[in-house]
Structure 1
Amino acid sequence: MQPLPAPPYQPPPGMPAIIHLDDSLIVLDKPAGLLSVLGRGPAHADSLASRVQMEFADARIVHRLDMATSGLLIMARGLEMERRLSIAFQQRQVEKRYIAVVAGRPGPDEGEIALPLITDWPNRPRQKVDFEAGKPSLTHYTLLSHDAGRDRSRVGLRPHTGRSHQLRVHMMAIGHPILGDELYGDADSRRAAERLLLHATELTLPHPLTGALLHLLSEPPF
């Protein structure tokens, strides 16, 4: 299934909601449809990072969410905090949890998806499963509820690795694409939602200055 042509970039206006703010970091609630960082060309210059930097000049991006994904995103304040937070991500000290609505009902109700991923170069930005050249990728999923009438499920997702589009490709690969996914869904799952139903709902990490454990939450808007 080929992805649909990308629509014009029309991000939602305004400053993203600030969930946590101190002298070391900012945690924001990114809306769906807004790039984390600027994209290619002047038409894609508007992003979460550029909006935040207009108010907090020292803010620096340390990880990203797909444009279509909403939820919690961290920015460091200054070079040293960027370095510390980048190390925390590299050492997997940051635990991320997502909520998604997917087609069908995954079975069993809880499990792991270990499928290696690589960029599908002729079809960028798509990623694909590749057992020979792909990088190890691991996702844990938990069934939260199932709507039998519409044959869709709400699932909790916890990525143990941070590959591009990992959650989207993994759920598609086991036959349960995330609803509203224009890149990886089939025709029915694409039409089932007006946006990608994937939200970064929970972050747990050591504070880069104090080491105290931060636990941050954002309820999905779907």
Structure 2
Amino acid sequence: MTASDSTSSSSQRAGSIVTRTVERDEADVRLDRWFKRHYPDVTHGHLQRLLRTGQVRVDGKRAEANSRLSPGQQIRIPPLGHAAPVEEMLRPAPKKPAISDKDAAALQAMVLFRDDDVIAINKPAGLAVQGGTGTTKHLDAMLDVLRFDGKERPKLVHRLDKDTSGVLLLARTTFAASRLTEMFRGKDVKKIYWAVTVGVPKPYQGKIDLALAKEGGPGGERVAGDDDDGKRALTYFSVLENAGKQAAFVAMWPRTGRTHQLRVHMAAIGTPILGDGKYAGQGAIIPGAEVPKKLHLHARRLILPHPRGNKTIDVTAPLPDHMLQTWKYMDFSANLREDPFVDVE
């Protein structure tokens, strides 16, 4: 924290108006998200009231919550009561779980692509992206080891299930995080997954348009098809190879990003993903096949515009060991590069 930030914090606690400058890496961030980062205990409702009454201003003018910021702009911040700046909330720093040298080296070895704004890693199956009930080891707690020469801690901009491997993108700057988050919410990102299905989907190419809704239960988070109360979910699929009628090597392109979408959709058409006991039980096993009993779902390729808009990011992740074993057993091709959905709008 700089001396000016320290002075601003003290003045604000005393009930004075302070002014903060938008930093270079905060370019194009929405005003409400800027507030969330700097003053996380200011609620959305409180901020809306401050904006409506003109107490928060940008360069002396009234602003909306969705106003985009530019470097050098001055944000007027009124007294916020008990709301403390994020710098103060982080001091003293909370204890973080220790990261072993072995884990740090392994995580750094997962990097597939890196530049000043973006890191792409090949997340292994079994590593949770974020913590939760009973989850003590997860990627979010280890992101500091991927800082490298960056000034900021890398940020998550999308998710993969714990048991799904493959390309996971991280933002290295606040600017990139804002742009990438919007891309993943829209249709700018093409995500191609590889999987093995029990049985062969028919037709070999098609789409699954089945709304999905979350449902509770003792087995943890589950999702089910629900045309009445669910949110629309759309998946394109293409059978690339098959092992008789027993199994198929399938590529999938989820046009929406619902929880467990690919797993539920493939089970819904009668060809569940190999190893997906959560949604297919014993139906996720190929009788007599000598293949690993793990989920066979891999985020193979990610294609999207660079957050700076000057090039395209196109990253491919090699298959994990358990899927390579199955590819060899089924005599599938593990190095296919073509996009099977190139002609799909």
- 3-state DSSP class of the match of 2:257? coil
Overall identity of the aligned pairs, in %: 36
Name 1:52's counterpart in structure 2. 143
Residue 140 of structure 1 is matched in structure 2 by 236
* Higher RCO structure (Cα 8 Å, ≥6 apart): 1
Counterparts of 1:210 and 1:50, CA distance in 2? 30
Residue 95 of structure 1 deviates from its aligned partner by 0.5
Q: Which of 58, 66, 71 is the aligned partner of 2:166? A: 71
Name the SS of the counterpart of 1:186 in structure 2.
helix
Tell me what 2:193 maps to. 98
What is the RMSD of the two structures over their aligned residues, measured on CA atoms?
1.8
Matches of 1:55 and 1:219 in 2, distance apart?
Answer: 20
Q: Kindly state the Cα deviation for residue 188 of structure 1 after the two structures are TM-superposed.
A: 4.1
Q: What secondary structure sits across from 1:82 in the alignment? A: helix
Q: Larger radius of gyration, structure 1 or 2?
A: 2
Unaligned 5+ runs, structure 2: 1-101, 324-345
> What SS class does the counterpart of residue 52 from structure 1 fall into?
helix
Deviations 1:132-187 (A, max 9, x none): 001000000000111117x0111000000000000000000000110111211231
Once residues 182 and 108 of structure 1 are traced to their aligned partners in structure 2, the CA distance between those partners, rounded to angstroms, is: 24
Q: Which has the higher helix share?
A: 2
- Flag structure 1 segments of 5+ consecutive residues without an equivalent: 1-11
Tell me the SS of whatever aligns to 2:279: coil
Whether the 8 Å CA contact 2:198–2:285 is kept in 1: the answer is no
Deviates more, 1:181-190 or 1:161-170: 181-190
One-letter amino acid matched to 1:173: A
* Mapped pair 1:178 → 2:273: yes
1:202 to 292, 295, 301: 301
**Aligned with 1:129 (options 225, 233, 241):** 225
Q: Which runs of 4+ in 1 moved over 3 A?
A: 190-193
Q: Secondary structure at the match of 1:185?
A: helix
Structure 1 residue corresponding to 2:175, chosen from 61, 80, 88: 80
Counterpart Cα distance in 1 of 2:206 and 2:140: 35
Mapped contact 1:179–1:193 kept (Cα < 8 A)? no
Q: Distance in 2 between matches of 1:184 and 1:50?
A: 29
Aligned to 1:39: 132
| Aligned partner of 1:62 among 152, 157, 164 | 157
Q: TM-score, normalised by structure 2?
A: 0.57
Amino acid across the alignment from 2:133: R
Query: Match of 1:183, SS?
Result: helix
Please tell me whether the aligned partners of residues 58 and 77 of structure 1 are also in contact (alpha carbons under 8 angstroms): yes
CA distance in 1, matches of 2:144, 2:240: 37
How many residues are paired up? 208
